[in-house]
Structure 1
Amino acid sequence: MKSTSIQPFLLPAAIVISALVLGWAIYSNSMQKAIPQGGTPIPTASATPIPTTPVITATVKVTLAPTTVAPTPTISDSVLLKAAVLAKSGIPANKFEFSIGKNLGTMASGSVRNTDDMGGAAWFAGKKNGTWKVSYIGQGVPTCAEIADFPYPTTWLSHCLNASGDTIAR
C-alpha cells in the first residue's frame, strides 16, 4: 500500500491562506480611509461598539447644471400617412402593408394591401392644416366628389366618376 504525503499540498495551501490574510488586511484598511473631497460622495466609516456592523455616512455635494428644453418631436409624414391610411382602409394592423409612392408635401399617393390578399390598392391623400386626409383607397376610378378636396396631379388621377357614374377626364 502506498502512503500519501501531504507535502505536495503544503505550498499551495500556504499561498491560499496568505492571499486570504492579505485580502482581509487590505479590506479592513480600506474601510478606515475617507475619500478626498472634490464634489464626489465621501463615505466615512465610524466604528460602533459591535465591530461586525459598520455605520457608513455619506456627504454628497450636488451641483445643478443648467437645463435646456428639448423641442417637441415632430411626427414624420410617413408615420402620419400610414396611420391615416390604416384607419381608412379597415385592414387589421398586423396584416397591413403600406408604401408611399409620391409625397409632394401637401398631397401624397402610394399603395396598400392586406397581406392575406394577392393584390393591393392605390391610395391618395391630401394635407390640410397639418392633418393628412385620405381621399380614396381602391383599385378602380374614384368618384369626383372623393378627390375634390385636393388638386391631385392628373398624372396621378386622370379620370374620376361623376355623380351619374360616368367616367370623365379631369
Structure 2
Amino acid sequence: MKKLIKKAVKIGAATFAVQSAFKKNVAPRVRLMSLAVATTMTAVSLVSIEAYAMDESAVQDFVAKISKAANGQNKDQIGRLIDDEAIIVLSRNGDSATLTKQEYLARLQKNWAQASDYHYDIQVDNIVVSSDQARAQITTTESWKDKKTGNAVRHVMSSRSTLTEVNGKTVMLRAVAQVTVQ
C-alpha cells in the first residue's frame, strides 16, 4: 500500500509540474523548472517501478533459499523468507487453519523437535509474474522419522502461493495449501 501511495504522490507532483509549465501567466523560467521537475519525477517513477519488478529467477532463488533453510531446520532464515503480514491457510481432511507467520514458524519448530532424518523438497510450477508479485503452484514434501514411534512420516503440501519483493528480497506473502499426510 505504501508503494502505491508513493507512486500516487509522484504522479500527482509530476502532473502539477506539467500543468504549471503550460499555464499562460507563468514566467518562462518557472515553466522550464516545472518541466524539469516533471521530467525528473517521471524518470524516478520509472526507475522505482523497474526496481520492484520481479521475474522468474527471483522465484527460483526464493525456492533455493527456503529449501536450504528448511533442510537446515533454520527457523530464523525461513522467517526472513516469509513476510511479517503473511497469511498461511492449511487445509486437511476438510478442516482449515489460518496461521500467522509466527504460528507457522512455531509449528515447524514443533515438528522438527519430534523428527529425525528430516528432509524437505520443494517444487514450483505455473509461475505468473506481475510487477512486484509472483504467483506459483508450490508443492513441498517433508519426510522424517518420528522420534517417539520410529515411524516414517511424510507431509505433502500443495499450495497456491503469492511471493512479493520487500526491500529487494523475495518473500512469501500468502499461501493456501492442501496438506496430505502419508
TM-score clears 0.5:
no
Tell me which structure has the larger Cα radius of gyration.
Answer: 1
**Structure showing the higher strand proportion among its residues:** 2
Superposition TM-score, scaled by structure 1 size? 0.22
